């Protein structure tokens, strides 16, 4: 691994009292290039602008995948990276679907740990804050012909962050989208391809203009089944049962927070169901007074309670617009593990040692 340290630090530019999400970047970034059929040695270098030709294939055709994961400064001062292996595996799945060559596991994991270690001073300390890592891979050929790229660049940048939504853990208002489709069966929904996010922008912006921070996505064909909420997986508590859409259709991203919630809930012996969910079932449960909690799960917000669902002319107020009991205990448990307050019983953490 080649390491070139930054001569001056960007730390002075950061307002730790107003971190927001993804506004500030640490001093270093990781780059690994793929050329002539192989991945080259990883390089850690100062965070800087890239020189990319206007004909860069990704700028035109979007052959790009990414990840989003976090490192935490624990209550004992130690740094813990959450579910490195699961994020690596998902990056590989996304890469395969986009015909991007598989990143070598050891180089990837070792260099991410090194990158965090070098920029450890950027990791904020307050509960609820963390260092967000954004690994991504782009095609690097320069051509206007539509094809799979021959050259690629993997990069990892890191950003000290606070809460993703301005609302924090306060329940958000959601617009149920019945008009636009983000993904369809046979499309890219189950991978983290940039294209999915491009497809979500218009409907999300329309919802924002109406005062909703996020949309609930229904299936892309009939707009009848529940898919995801914003850039999160969705979960419902109906009559005491934790219910979430299954992954079988390939339209839903297998969220790592989703998986963590399901593992914890099953470990506690909760009644859990992964299955297709008709949105009409949610409306019906609401009318019968059985819809107790709705929340999104994702790396950025961990648990994001939904306080209101707006569907056509109907408004469903969930749990009086307050965070539910199950949502709260799941948030406390996952963050408890991440900040080293609770035991890492599932083996999810990589502890990052001090630099020698
Ligand atoms: N769905 C989509 C579309 C997402 O972008 C994300 C965020 N990665 C998730 C779900 C949640 O996944 P995770 O829990 O791995 O962050």
Q: What is the pLDDT of residues 97-146, one digit of tens each?
A: 999 999 999 999 999 999 999 999 999 999 999 999 999 999 999 999 99
From CA 111, how far away is CA 117, in angstroms rounded?
Answer: 10
Q: What is the pLDDT of residues 275-307, one digit of tens each?
A: 999 999 999 999 999 999 999 999 999 999 999
The pLDDT of residue 356 is above 60: no
Nearest Cα residue to atom 4 of ligand 1: 231
Nearest Cα residue to atom 12 of ligand 1: 255
Q: Which ligand 1 atom is nearest residue 196's CA?
A: 3
Beta carbons of 137 and 101 less than 8 angstroms apart: no
Nearest Cα residue to atom 9 of ligand 1: 232
Beta carbons of 266 and 272 less than 8 angstroms apart: yes
Note the pLDDT of residue 204.
97
Ligand 1 mutation pick, 68, 86, 229, 245, max ligand atoms within 8 A of CB: 68
From CA 128, how far away is CA 332, in angstroms rounded?
Answer: 11
The pLDDT of residue 353 is above 90: no
Ligand 1 centroid vs 293 CA: distance in angstroms? Answer: 20
Note the pLDDT of residue 139.
98
**67-78 mean pLDDT:** 97
Triad 171, 238, 337: Cα angle to 5°:
60
Ligand 1 centroid vs 101 CA: distance in angstroms? Answer: 22
Q: Please tell me what DSSP assigns to residue 193.
A: B
Ligand 1 mutation pick, 299, 300, 335, max ligand atoms within 8 A of CB: 299
Ligand 1 centroid vs 69 CA: distance in angstroms? Answer: 10
Note the pLDDT of residue 169.
84
Give the CB-side neighbour count of residue 198, counting CA atoms within 13 A: 11
Q: How confident is the model at residue 355 (pLDDT cuts 50, 70, 90)?
A: low
Ligand 1 mutation pick, 88, 198, 233, 260, max ligand atoms within 8 A of CB: 233
Give residues (CB < 6 A) around ligand 1: 68, 228, 231-233, 253, 255-258, 297-299
Q: What is the CB neighbour count within 10 angstroms for residue 3?
A: 14
Ligand 1 mutation pick, 298, 299, 303, max ligand atoms within 8 A of CB: 298
Nearest Cα residue to atom 5 of ligand 1: 231
Q: Which ligand 1 atom is nearest residue 86's CA?
A: 15
Nearest Cα residue to atom 10 of ligand 1: 232
**189-216 mean pLDDT:** 97
From CA 171, how far away is CA 188, in angstroms rounded?
Answer: 29
């Amino acid at each position: 691994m080649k390491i070139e340290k930054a001569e001056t630090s960007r730390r002075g530019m950061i307002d730790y009292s107003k971190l927001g999400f993804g506004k500030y970047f640490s001093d270093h970034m990781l780059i690994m290039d793929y050329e002539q059929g192989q991945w080259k040695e990883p390089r850690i270098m100062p965070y800087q602008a890239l020189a990319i030709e206007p004909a860069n294939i990704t700028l035109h055709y979007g052959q790009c995948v990414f990840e989003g994961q976090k490192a935490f400064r624990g209550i004992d001062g130690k740094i813990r990276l959450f579910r490195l292996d699961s994020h690596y595996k998902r990056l590989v799945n996304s890469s395969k679907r986009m015909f991007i060559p598989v990143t070598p596991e050891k180089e990837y994991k070792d260099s991410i740990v090194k990158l965090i270690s070098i920029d450890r001073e950027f990791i904020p300390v307050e509960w609820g804050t963390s260092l967000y890592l954004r690994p991504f891979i782009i095609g690097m050929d320069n051509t206007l012909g539509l094809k799979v790229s021959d050259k690629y660049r993997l990069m990892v940048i890191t950003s000290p962050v606070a809460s993703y939504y301005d609302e924090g853990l306060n329940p958000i208002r959601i617009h149920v989208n019945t008009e636009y489709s983000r993904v369809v069966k046979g499309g890219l929904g189950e991978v983290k391809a940039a294209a999915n996010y491009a497809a979500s922008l218009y409907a999300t912006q329309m919802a924002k203009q109406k005062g909703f921070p996020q949309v609930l996505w229904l299936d892309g064909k009939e707009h009848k089944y529940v898919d995801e909420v914003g850039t999160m997986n969705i979960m419902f508590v109906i009559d005491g049962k934790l219910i979430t859409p299954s992954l079988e259709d390939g339209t839903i991203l297998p969220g790592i927070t989703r998986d963590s919630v399901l593992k914890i809930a099953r470990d506690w012996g909760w009644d859990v169901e992964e299955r297709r969910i008709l949105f009409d079932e949610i409306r019906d449960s609401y009318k019968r007074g059985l819809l107790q909690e709705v929340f999104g799960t994702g790396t950025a917000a961990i648990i994001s309670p939904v306080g209101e669902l707006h569907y056509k002319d109907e408004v469903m107020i969930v749990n009086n617009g307050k965070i539910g009991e199950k949502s709260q205990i799941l948030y406390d448990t996952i963050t408890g593990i991440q900040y080293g307050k609770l035991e890492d019983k599932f083996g999810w953490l990589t502890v990052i040692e001090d630099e020698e």
